[in-house]
């Protein structure tokens, strides 16, 4: 006590200069201590991972480790590659992960398979649960990085609505925090989580991570990596039940987020989900609901706005307060998302006005609940994932979206996948859901979705089924009018997003595929291509010719994810990518095939191109596609090119846009 008193007295007599110097010294000491913990050598990495350090690695003991990963596409010379016959590689990826790691180069490999790489540690042992020891090492290393940061960790899981709920919470966080760390898209596997954990910085205040279920114990592994301060649960549905055997087993794995979370942490539980509410939680429970007044947080006075949004009141029973809120997206499920986002914000001690401002800023993007208007059409893109509940929510949202006079509401649906034994039953049930909503025409593509079409027709809904994607797309071209509202909804592997891109010249599917590394790169002649399941795009022109002719198609091995088969396809070259001709000083003229439907943002920026002519099939040109081109004279397009981005010809002083 005497020492404390002296310390306090000494500080009270500090000058402003002394105070500033002391704080600076404390800051520098904290930074130094952090760096000592965060900057790993190879030997230290083995220590934190709980692995014995091999004598043959002694010469590398002090070599710095920049990162560790199970993804061979992300390796650097200072990476540790950990592989135990599982990994994040997308379908259609032909190269063996170990071979890729060896060819790419890394510091060392830890694996349970024989490998020719000199710096390889072979570990074939398993733990008491029968899992590879490497799995445990991967968890320990991830958790170590998480543990040296003071960031509040929020983990979110559920069967439906994970990503949209995460994005609503993200909007709230960004209204207060300068740089929150948030998982992108649906990067929710243990591999993505490890990558995100390694992005944590000393100043990071909060880290929001979506967590997905893929197979038994996958969430448990993620939960041990994260040790979350807060766990958010949306619902327990039937997505991935095929892998788990039952919803009950799925629920047990999802509850791992709380079981292995901080003991003094919080679990935000959807009061409207019976399965969730029937389970005990190890963390303190905060409940939220759409309308149930028994929950800690719920909404009331929900009403639609003219802009297809919703106005409502959030009731905070824990504080006794009520606040008016608004979301500018359709669908009452977004009100539920707003309620839990508000609850999380209050738990972080954010001010109500900050939280409400963040909720109002939320806008969907990509292939989730995204209302877009390409080429004068009205598209409701919500095809990143699907379930019976998700279809019902999306159709309810579509009911609230106004259509022009004479316009129809058209639903383009595909299969719900990973349902196991309940697949046929679920696809029969979709027809009943459709009958409760404003659907004028059903167009369906897939396998079991045929059952939906048969039942929907019996219920008086005009319906057509297509087993062939090309025929579906031909039908959409033939029947959809600019005044119609067209919903696209299916599981991700059905790949309806590629049809949206192809039909309307958008970028939503390709951008998502590239962001999530769901592609393969191949070089043919002078072109490097992105290879997708149903199309190809030019990534980079590698040649030096002044006149370049773009091929219309290439042959490639791909995986049809819907039918789970590998096959060789002739892929149309549909897009000119963002870096295809950027800063190319050789090209003067490009001959475009009729297969190309879009020029992506910045594709020719800074190049020496002089003349460009698009075909009648070119639908759209992205932002700054021909910017900074001093020699450019003409960009000639047809009237079918209905979408022209911003600043397409910026700083190209001699360029003229002409219509054929």
pLDDT in tens, 401-423: 999 888 999 999 999 998 888 99
Is residue 565 within 8 A of residue 559, CB to CB? The reply is: yes
Q: Nearest CA to 35 among 64, 8, 2?
A: 64
Residues of the chain where predicted confidence (pLDDT) is lower than 50: 1-6, 89-93
Is residue 541 within 8 A of residue 580, CB to CB? The reply is: yes
- Does 149-361 carry CATH code 3.40.1190.10? yes
Instruction: Please give the pLDDT value at position 95.
Output: 66
Fold topology of 41-138:
3.40.1390
Tokens read off for 120: 């390889």
Instruction: Please give the pLDDT value at position 87.
Output: 58
User: Phi and psi (nearest 5°) for 60?
Assistant: -100, 5
Can you name the residues that pair with 233 across neighbouring β-strands? Answer: 157, 269
Tokens read off for 615: 């075909």
DSSP 8-state class, residue 306 = T
SS3 452: helix
pLDDT in tens, 604-615: 999 999 999 999
Top CATH class, 370-504: alpha beta
Give me the architecture of the 519-659 domain, per CATH.
Answer: Alpha-Beta Horseshoe (3.80)
Beta strands in 446-532 (DSSP E): 463-466, 485-489, 520-524, 527-531
Segments making up each domain of the chain, as ranges: 2-34, 41-138, 149-361, 370-504, 519-659
**C-alpha dist (Å) from residue 4 to 12, 19, 479:** 12, 17, 80
Q: Nearest CA to 505 among 364, 637, 401, 626?
A: 637
Tokens read off for 250: 């799925």
Instruction: Please give the pLDDT value at position 436.
Output: 97
pLDDT in tens, 461-495: 999 999 999 999 999 999 999 999 999 999 999 99
């Amino acid at each position: 006590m005497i020492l404390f008193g002296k310390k306090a007295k000494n500080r009270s007599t500090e000058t402003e200069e002394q105070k500033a110097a002391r704080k600076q010294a404390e800051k520098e000491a904290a930074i130094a201590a952090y760096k000592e913990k965060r900057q790993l050598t190879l030997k230290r990495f083995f220590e934190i991972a709980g692995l014995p350090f091999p004598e043959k690695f002694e010469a590398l003991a002090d070599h710095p480790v920049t990162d560790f990963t199970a993804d061979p596409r992300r390796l650097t010379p200072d990476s540790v590659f950990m592989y135990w016959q599982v990994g994040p590689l997308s379908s259609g990826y032909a190269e063996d992960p170990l071979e890729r790691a060896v060819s790419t180069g890394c510091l060392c490999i830890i694996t349970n398979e024989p490998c020719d790489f000199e710096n390889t540690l072979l570990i074939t042992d398993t733990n008491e649960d029968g899992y590879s020891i490497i799995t445990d090492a991967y968890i320990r290393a991830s958790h170590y990085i998480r543990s040296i940061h003071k960031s509040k960790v929020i983990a979110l899981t559920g069967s439906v609505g994970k990503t949209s709920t995460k994005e609503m919470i993200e909007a709230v966080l960004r209204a207060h925090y300068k740089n929150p760390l948030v998982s992108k898209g649906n990067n929710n596997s243990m591999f993505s989580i490890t990558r995100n954990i390694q992005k944590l910085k000393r100043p990071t205040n909060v880290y929001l991570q979506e967590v997905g279920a893929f197979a038994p114990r996958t969430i448990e592994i993620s939960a041990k990596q994260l040790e979350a301060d807060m766990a958010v649960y949306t619902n327990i549905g039937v997505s991935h039940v095929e892998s788990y055997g039952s919803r009950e087993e799925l629920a047990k794995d999802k509850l791992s987020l709380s079981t292995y979370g901080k003991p003094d942490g919080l679990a935000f539980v959807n009061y409207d989900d019976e399965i969730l509410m029937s389970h005990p939680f190890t963390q303190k429970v905060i409940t939220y609901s759409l309308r149930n007044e028994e929950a800690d947080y719920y909404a009331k006075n929900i009403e639609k706005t003219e802009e297809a949004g919703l106005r409502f009141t959030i009731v905070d029973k824990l504080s006794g307060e009520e606040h008016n809120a608004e979301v500018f997206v359709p669908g009452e499920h977004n009100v539920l998302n707003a309620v839990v986002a508000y609850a999380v914000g209050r738990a972080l001690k954010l001010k109500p006005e900050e939280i409400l401002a963040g909720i109002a800023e939320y806008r969907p993007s990509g292939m989730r609940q995204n209302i877009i208007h390409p080429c004068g059409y009205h598209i409701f893109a919500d095809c990143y994932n699907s379930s019976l509940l998700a279809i019902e929510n999306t159709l309810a949202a579509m009911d609230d979206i106004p259509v022009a006079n004479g316009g129809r509401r058209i639903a383009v649906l595909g299969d719900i996948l990973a349902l196991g034994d309940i697949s046929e039953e679920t696809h029969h049930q979709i027809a009943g859901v459709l009958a409760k909503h404003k659907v004028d025409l059903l167009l369906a593509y897939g396998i079991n979705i045929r059952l939906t079409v048969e039942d929907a027709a019996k219920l008086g809904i005009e319906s057509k089924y297509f087993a062939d994607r090309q025929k579906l797309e031909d039908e959409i071209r033939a029947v959809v009018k600019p005044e119609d509202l067209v919903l696209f909804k299916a599981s991700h592997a059905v790949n309806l997003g590629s049809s949206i891109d192809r039909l309307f010249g958008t970028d939503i599917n390709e951008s998502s595929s590239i962001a999530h590394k769901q592609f393969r790169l191949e070089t043919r002649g002078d072109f490097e291509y992105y290879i997708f399941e149903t199309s190809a795009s030019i990534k980079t022109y590698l040649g030096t010719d002044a006149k370049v002719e773009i091929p219309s198609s290439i042959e490639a091995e791909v995986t049809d994810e819907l039918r789970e088969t590998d096959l060789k396809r002739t892929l149309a070259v549909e897009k000119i990518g963002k870096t295809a001709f950027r800063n190319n000083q050789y090209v003067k003229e490009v001959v475009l095939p009729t297969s190309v439907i879009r020029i992506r943002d910045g594709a020719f920026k800074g190049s020496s191109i002089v003349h460009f002519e698009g075909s009648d099939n070119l639908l759209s040109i992205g932002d700054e596609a021909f910017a900074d081109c001093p020699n450019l004279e003409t960009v000639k397009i047809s009237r079918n090119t209905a979408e022209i981005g911003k600043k397409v010809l910026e700083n190209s002083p001699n360029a003229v846009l002409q219509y054929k």
